[in-house]
Structure formats: C-alpha cells, structure tokens
Amino acid sequence: MRSLKKHLTVLSLIFFIANIAQAQTIQGVVLSKNKPVEGVLVYWKNYNSLFTKSDSVGQFTLLKPDSAFADTLMATMLGFEPKVAIVKPNQSKVVMDMESNTMLQDAQVGTVGNPKRIDARNPRQITRFSEREFTKAACCNLSESFENISAVDVTTSDAVTGIRQIQMMGFSGTYIQTQIDNMPFTTGMISASGLTYIPGIFVKEMQLSKGVGSVTNGYEGMTGSLNIELRKPLHKERLIVNGYFNPMNGRPEFNLIHTAQVSEKWATTTSLHGSGVYAKQDVNKDGIQDFGNQQNIHLSNRWMFIHKKIEGNFGFRYLNYNQSMQSMPESTFPKWASEHKDNRKEIFGMLGKVFKAEPLKSIGFRFNAYNHSLQNTFGSRVYHGDENAIRANLVYQSIVKSSFHVIQAGLSFYGNQTKDHFTDAYENLHLNRKEIVPGAFIEWTESSIKKLVLVGGIRLDHHSHFGLIFTPRLHGKLELNKTTDLRFGGGRGQRTASPFADHQGLFSSNRRIRLPNLIQNGFYGLQQEVSWNTGLSVSKKMKMFYRPATLSADYYYTWFDNQLVADRDSKSEELSFYNLKDFGLKSFSHSASVELDFSPMRRTDIRVAYRYIDSRSGFADGINRFNPMISPHRAFFNAEYETKNGWSFDFTVNWQSPKRLPQGANLPESMKDLARYSPSYTAVMAQVMKKIKKKWEIYAGGENLLNIRQNDLIRMATDPQSPYFDPTMVWGPSLGAMFYTGFRYYIR
C-alpha cells in the first residue's frame, strides 16, 4: 500500500510539472524578528512531495495543489519553532513569521568566541570543541590537549612508553569510540595510543559525547564517543605553519598544512607533522632516563571533489613513531633498555549524494583500510604485532512524510586479521586472529511531540567467532523550558579485547604474564567485553551578573556483563588477564559531574567543573576494589582573557584526589611500607599568545608550574632483573615545571 501511494505521488508530481503553466503557485517570505531567513524548508503538510527552500532574502515560490489534498503549509528549520500556516483556496501570498527556539541554538557562552559549545540540537549530550581549544595547549597531540577539557581525565600508562591515555567514567579510553571524520580510528593495535599520533593543529573541530553513541557508528562505543574532524580542503586556511620548542626535554615540533584549489570541482589538503624528544635526564638518580627519546612523523593527503549534489573525498595517512628509553651511560646499576615502534599505512574515502528532488534525502558511503605494525621491547620481553583491517559503512537517510520523522539505515562491514608474537622468560606465543563482522542498523528520530525529541536505534552484527551481536540504544531530549534541556539515554556496547594492544604499557614491568587458555583462535581464551550504560544530563542557559552563562550537570551509571580484567592486585609479582564473568564478578561505575561556563566581562571566559567517580571491580582473589589509577574527585578551573589588540591569556588549574596504587599481595618485607594511594596533587598551566596582523600567532607558556614531581617513577629501577621492577605506577609528572614557546603562521 505504501509503495502504491509512493508511485501515485510520483505520477501526480509529473502531472503537475507537465502542466506547470496552468498550475497555481503560492509565493511567500519567511521572517524572524522582521529579518529574512534563508534555507527554511517549506512544504505542504499532507502533500510533502511539493517543497522548496527560502532564498537569501527569505522568499519562496511553491506549487499549490488542489485544496482537497493540502491546505496547511509547514516551515521548519533547526534553530526555530516549526511554523504552520493555513492557506485558503484563493490565497496566493503568505508571510511566515518564525520564532527562534533558543534551546535549539548552540549553547555558546562568552564574548571571546568560546571554543566550547553544547550541541543543543542533538538529543545526545554532545559538546563541540573548535580548533581554538587545541591552541590552549600549544604543542602537541590530542592526548596531551585534553588537559584543558574537564569531561575526561588524562593519565600516563607507564614511565617507559610515556603513552598518554584518556579516561571517562572511571574506565580507560579503549571504551571510548574514537573516530576520525566518523570512521573508527583507535581500534586494534592503536587502541591505547591512537590519540598520541594526532597533532592538535590538524584538528578543525571535535565532538565529545558521554554515554553510548549512535548505532550508525558501530557497537563499540561503551562509555563515550569522540569524533575528530580534521582540516579539509573547504576550510579557509590555505597554509598553516606551526613551530614549537620545549627546551626542558629537548622537544621540537613542526607542522605544515597546505590546501590547494585545483579546479572548480577538486581541492586537496596535505598535512605534515614531525617531532622528537632528544634530551636525556635522570633527575631522580635511579639510573634510568626519566623520559624516553622520540621521533614522530605523520603525513596525510586528502582530495575532495564536489559536483552538483555529489561530494566525495579520498586520501592516505602514514604514521611512523619510534620511542626508546635506557639506562644512563654513567649509571653503575645493571643496564636496561626498551623500544616502542608504531607504523601505520592507511587509505580512506567517502562518497555522498544528496537527492536533488528531495534535499533531506541522502546516501553516503565511507571506508578505510590499513596495515598497522607494533613492536615493543621491554628488557628481555618482546612483543610484535601486525594488523590488517578494512571497514565500510553505507548510510541512507530520509524523512518520512515530514521532517519530524527522520530515518537512518544502513549496512556495515569490518574485517580484521591480526598476528601476535610474544616472548619472555616464560612464554613463546604465536597467535593469529581473524574477525569478519557484517552488520545492519536502523535509527529513527521522532520530533513530532512538542518539546521532545527521541532517537531510537538497533543494530545486528554477526561476528565470525563470537556470533550474533545485538545493540539497542535510545536517546532523548526534553525541553523543560526555553532555557533548560533534559537529556537521557542508554544502551549496550560490545568490543573485542586484546591484552597486548589494550594494555601494552603494563607489559613494561617484570610481572609474570598469566593468560587464560593461551591459544584459542587468537582470542586468548577471552570473550567479548559487554557493557550497559545509562545516563541523565541537564543543561541550562542563564545570566550571571547580567552576563551569559551555561550550567550543566550529568550522572551516568555503567556496568559490565563481561570485561577483560588486568589484575595487578591478586599477586604482586604477576599480571593476570581473565574474563570478569568467569569468576562471577562485577564491574561498575557511578559518574557525576557539574560544570559552569560563564563570561564575567567582555572578552573573558571562565570554566569551572567538578566530577566524582565511584568505579569498582571484583578480582579473582574475591576482593571488590576501587579501580586503580583513578582519582575519585577532580576539580577544574580555566580562565581565558583576550585584549582588543590581539593578546590572549589562558590559565588552568587541575586538582586530582589520591589514586589507588595496585601494589599486589605477598610483597616482600622490604616493600611492605609502599604507599597504597598516591598523594593528591594540583597541576597548573598558563599560556600567553599574541596575534600579529592576522597572519602570525606567537605564544609562550608553562606546564606543571607548581613544580610537582613523582620521584619513584620506576619501582626497583636499580634492579631491572627483579620481579618487582615496575614502571606502571605513574600518578604524577615525571619532570618539574616546563616551559615552551612557539609560533603559528596562516595564509587564508
């Protein structure tokens, strides 16, 4: 019946076009506060095959069907309340005065142009960060730039690799679905270290959301989603050059981004990053470097074309990262050395089409394929991994009868082949793993109910080893009033765990590795991790001291039906991996936060936040513990001020409560007095920047300005052969106060 109705509608449209000379039309204008509004969708409520959009002066012309079919004209656009107009049979002109919906506007505060804004249109709690957010931490990669973002925590996995990782809701960043341009990135071999290889200057915008994500992006997002939009040919900068130098650890960085318009249809962007760490220091006199030496290269090239309603882009990405750390030449202690290497070659592409006759209807195809090799050497312990993978995603979107009902549906495919080789004094493992995962999904957005938007989705995937994967998810947004939104959501997440990739930093210790059923089709005898997440959030726009402000608060509860446990507590000399459900154990977290963004005066923005986490897990020894290396309490303050003549000042204070240190049971008497908790500490950073003639930005800043330093970075560093040698108890900075300087140059 629906198909017949669709065909009749198409025939009717052909009839009207064929007789356009005789057809009646209605002309109108769309206004808001007496100003024309461009891009508003105007259509007949019961005859939505006839529609148009308002032009640059708000005007439109629309074919007028027989009044027996339609007499109600609709006007909709994000950011405005839908407008309804009753049209009489002999009426030929109409004025549609639309009312701005303040809660559908991006909740952006401040007069400096705050780089953070809440995406108030979306039922999910999504916070958007512009490129300016990443200039606050002027160097560096994304894993370091998160120091200025209160929604996530930043930790260092170990004192050897120095890999910076993010946490959310009391769980590691492997449970955050991180994407580049809406395609998963930090999976497989790069799951723990991926953000290290993305320079902040490459990022145009980032969207961060808490809780489970959309089913269109896969089943793996469990505690949050992070989408990173890199600079593309359509962006306004033709050339960007960035240079940075930190004399404290001998760290230079250079970035170059070049965009060229090749023709009316084609444009290309090339991005190049090079950096290194060359100084060698041993401030704590334990005989081993306080930080490793690094060389890092990232090269990517992207081509984009636009032709009528078709848009596409394709390109490649190459990463090469080398890091080494060793005993100091003058050290009299036994020698020790480590090496960490990542190499990645990737191609990617996207093709999308917007249907000319139905502008809200589109279809898009994305894919990426890569080879990633990882090599870790920690003393006599060696791990080599090689991964080949391909992903593809086909998404179709359309409205159903009206823009109040939007459907997204599609197909996905994931293929992965991984080879692991692990050798130490006890094991010599060669494991091969193959995953083939076809999937299908559907998501419905319903906004016909006043002040309520619901998004429900399900997806089905079939894993070649684990079988059927069912993923239900629901999100909703309720407008409590014109200044306050309530969001809610929940759903299921699932992922394939890998001890060697997910927890590579833990292998730097001398603990004996324990794996269940060592060889089982390359999956280490482990089941997939399965979690559930539910949450609520409230955001409110208001005035403080007659100035704009936004207050937001949220609460999330996450629990695991199964999880990969990396157990450092049951025995002090062992690192055991096992399934949570094999022992009937539980893992969960309660996470709550509150954040205030306000502008106390012109060109000034202040951000104040507090977050609390109660994250616990059961262990094989029968004890339920707080998860290690997580601060239950965190307080955050950031202030930014910009002058009229181009100076800007940024100041951040980040306080963290003590973290539980997983010392393990059965410690020898000589180590019985080791602390079970780290001290609390406060990290302070500041930066000053000067803009010169819209082309130059010169900056200088400092990190860890209170000069806080952790001295026992490597436990038993003087005896690298000891089973208690352990570089993984890192709770604070390895260096004291650090200072840097740099520049950025733009041609727009």
What's the pLDDT at 51?
A: 75
* Phi, psi for residue 582 in degrees, rounded to 5: -65, -25
d(CA 103, CA 116) in angstroms, rounded, equals: 16
Return the higher-pLDDT residue of 194 and 379. Answer: 379
Q: For the chain, how many residues are written?
A: 748
Confidence category of residue 193, pLDDT binned at 50, 70, 90: confident
What's the pLDDT at 520?
A: 63
624-644 per-position pLDDT tens digit: 999 999 999 999 999 999 998
% of the chain residues with pLDDT over 70: 91
Q: Indicate the domain borders of the chain.
A: 2-99, 228-747
Q: How would you classify the pairing of strands 574-579 and 512-514?
A: parallel
Q: Is there a contact between 107 and 121 (Cβ–Cβ < 8 Å)? A: no
Q: Is the pLDDT of residue 393 over 70?
A: yes
> Once rounded to an integer, what is the mean pLDDT over residues 204-216?
92
In CATH terms, 228-747 corresponds, of 2.40.170.20, 1.10.10.10, 3.40.640.10, 2.115.10.20, to 2.40.170.20
Least confident among 372-381, 464-473, 663-672, 698-707: 663-672
107-148 per-position pLDDT tens digit: 333 334 567 777 777 888 888 888 888 777 666 788 888 877
Q: Is the pLDDT of residue 17 over 70?
A: no
Residue with tokens 């917007």: 354
Confidence category of residue 100, pLDDT binned at 50, 70, 90: low
In sequence order, what are the residues at sequence separation of 6 or more whose Cβ sits closer than 8 angstroms to the Cβ of residue 48?
399, 401, 402
Give the per-residue SS3 of 497-519.
Answer: CCHHHHCHHHHHCCCEEECCCCC
> For 97, how many CA atoms within 13 A lie in the half-sphere containing its CB?
2
Kindly report the average pLDDT of the chain as a whole number. 87
Which fold would CATH assign to domain 2-99?
Answer: Immunoglobulin-like (2.60.40)
Q: Which helix (DSSP H) or strand (DSSP E) does residue 418 occupy?
A: strand 402-423
